[in-house]
Amino acid sequence: MESQLHELAEARWFLSKVQDDFRGGKINVEITHKLLEKLDFPCHFAHVKHIFKEHDRQSQGRITIEEFRAIYRCIVHREEITEIFNTYTENRKILSENSLIEFLTQEQYEMEIDHSDSEEIINKYEPIAEVKGERQMSIEGFARYMFSSECLLFKENCKTVYQDMNHPLSDYFISSSHNTYLISDQILGPSDIWGYVSALVKGCRCLEIDCWDGSQNEPIVYHGYTFTSKLLFKTVVQAINKYAFVTSDYPVVLSLENHCSPGQQEVMASILQNTFGDFLLSDMLEEFPDTLPSPEALKFKILVKNRKVGTLSETHERIGTDKSGQVLEWKEVIYEDGDEDSGMDPETWDDFLSRIKEEKEADPSTLSGVTGVKKRKRKMKIAMALSDLVIYTKAEKFQNFQYSRLYQQFNETSSIGESRARKLSKLRVHEFIFHTAAFITRVYPKMMRADSSNFNPQEFWNVGCQMVALNFQTPGLPMDLQNGKFLDNGGSGYILKPDILRDTTLGFNPNEPEYDGHPITLTIRIISGIQLPVSSSSSTPDVVVIIEVYGVPNDHVKQQTRVVKNNAFSPKWNETFTFIIQVPELALIRFVVETQQGLLAGNELLGQYTLPVLCMNKGYRRVPLFSKSGANLEPSSLFTYVWYFRE
């Protein structure tokens, strides 16, 4: 009897929602699509058209209310969801509050759930008033809950800033972009303010600005000696000011590639001060005179990364003085012998540097007399007004790890090209990690990447590099990893590095095949696909799911499902994969959905989703999908079951 009452309640509810649309008789596919959205189940129009055609028995392009109900059930009452629902119900009709709590604890690992939480879920997702009033849940409510954001793979607490933000800046991975002003290639492509806006909206915290002398004493931004278009420095700074803290409250670093004359550098300094005002950090913080501040201490601050002359104390003493027309000479000496690339062993190089240090202290002019030293000098005129805006991010040429250990100051950051950084990460891994534990290090793409392609950032995160700068305008695997990694910690653009990259006494080496840490065993069951994106070549493509793990080399692995033919609407796999991940603190997992188009045509990417392994929820979870360009493809998703334990 109770079962029949529930069926009647469901039928009345459904009729009340759709009957007005059928007063004129049958409805077409467009109204069908709108009606499904009205029922809180958004659908891709391409899928609605396909299902509509299957249920339009008379092929008139119009369907009855009974045919619409069949379409609705096809979309909402998915077999895999109904099976889970039936497992926890007594009569296969209604889920009691106690049964809902049992499901949430046993399957979703929500260990702290109580009756107030379950009541909140029922009130939020159960659409049938009579069922809701009895604190129960119908298949309608259960399906809405399972398709909601509460059942997504990404952990809820990772969506907020939950990490300790009081460590020095060098203890964090920092979301960083390269040639941020470009939105295409490095040679002919346009420069556009949108490059800065979109990067900041994505949580980027280190922006690159290439500055050159412009006409009428107006500095410009573009890729020098190329045909890329030009932007006014002033316009770039104004855009950054508007969007700097829209996504994150934490500091933004402006990495200046400064090619301007002293006069236009002074204009740059004036623009920075007038535009950012108190947001611009122009003096050291009292509590951080000789150590790097934390992201928390630098909230809502803009930091300038550029060459600097003199000390922070000298800068502090000049606060409030007139610096107009005052020019400083910046000098750089590059010692070319003894570089890590030369193959000199560390002990020999340490002895070599000790001799350099002794001679330098005795008489700097005799430095070139040290046997084997080849030095190259560079000089540049820097406006004092700009130099004094550089506080905790002083740009210095990276020479080698041993030189940095002897001479690098706490507020100096260095940039290393990807090729050299890759070599050092293989040949000098311990020294690299020792270096990045103390100093902010930026890695940038090699010059040969004229097409704005990107390297795999994971190899440099593995050795603790804080600023791994990518071309944000170029979609693909590297940017998927970048976007996935910085989903963590509330998308703030700052992620605390794991202990193994901050504590050098642990002796971590990402290249070792075995690591004495705390690996996890991860099991993922790919159950089904939900309204997968339609292929450009077929409305009923052959689809395959690929799971990739990125982290230390030993953790890199790829597995894939079988191919499901001619079904992007509701393909089913029910395939289980197991991964043993040695260093989960650094691991990312990437779900890829592709269409299989044959050996000659290659596979077409339909969607992907990347996230840190330790940000995954357990239980039945929906994996959202994003396009190659990063657009959210909702409601397209994968339905999975995830479980893992740590040894």
Q: How far apart are CA 554 and CA 512, in angstroms?
A: 8
Closest by Cα among 461, 427, 426 to 442: 461
- Residue 178 appears among annotated catalytic residues: yes
Q: Are 620 and 151 in contact (CB under 8 A)?
A: yes
Bridge partners of 604, per DSSP, are 595
- Please identify which of the residues 50, 178, 259, 435 carries the catalytic annotation: 178
State the CB neighbour count (10 A cutoff) for residue 341.
13
Q: How far apart are CA 144 and CA 95, in angstroms?
A: 14
Q: Which helix (H) or strand (E) holds 419?
A: helix 418-427
Q: How far apart are CA 644 and CA 559, in angstroms?
A: 17
- Please identify which of the residues 33, 47, 167, 223 carries the catalytic annotation: 223
Contacts of 471 (CB under 8 A, 6+ apart): 177, 178, 179, 182, 445, 449, 452, 453, 454
Q: How far apart are CA 187 and CA 322, in angstroms?
A: 40
Closest by Cα among 531, 522, 488 to 154: 488
Q: Are 445 and 178 in contact (CB under 8 A)?
A: yes
Q: How far apart are CA 172 and CA 182, in angstroms?
A: 26
Rounded to 5 degrees, φ, ψ at 224 are -55, 145
Closest by Cα among 555, 617, 548 to 586: 555
Alpha-carbon 84 to chain mean position: 33
Q: Where are the beta strands (DSSP E) in 44-129?
A: 94-96
Token pair 């600005």 is found at 209
SS3 56: coil
For residue 211 the two structure tokens come to: 């500055």
Rounded to 5 degrees, φ, ψ at 560 are -145, 160
CB-count burial class (<10 Å; 0-12, 13-18, 19+) for 86: middle
Closest by Cα among 585, 611, 616 to 482: 611
Any idea which residues carry the catalytic annotation?
178, 223
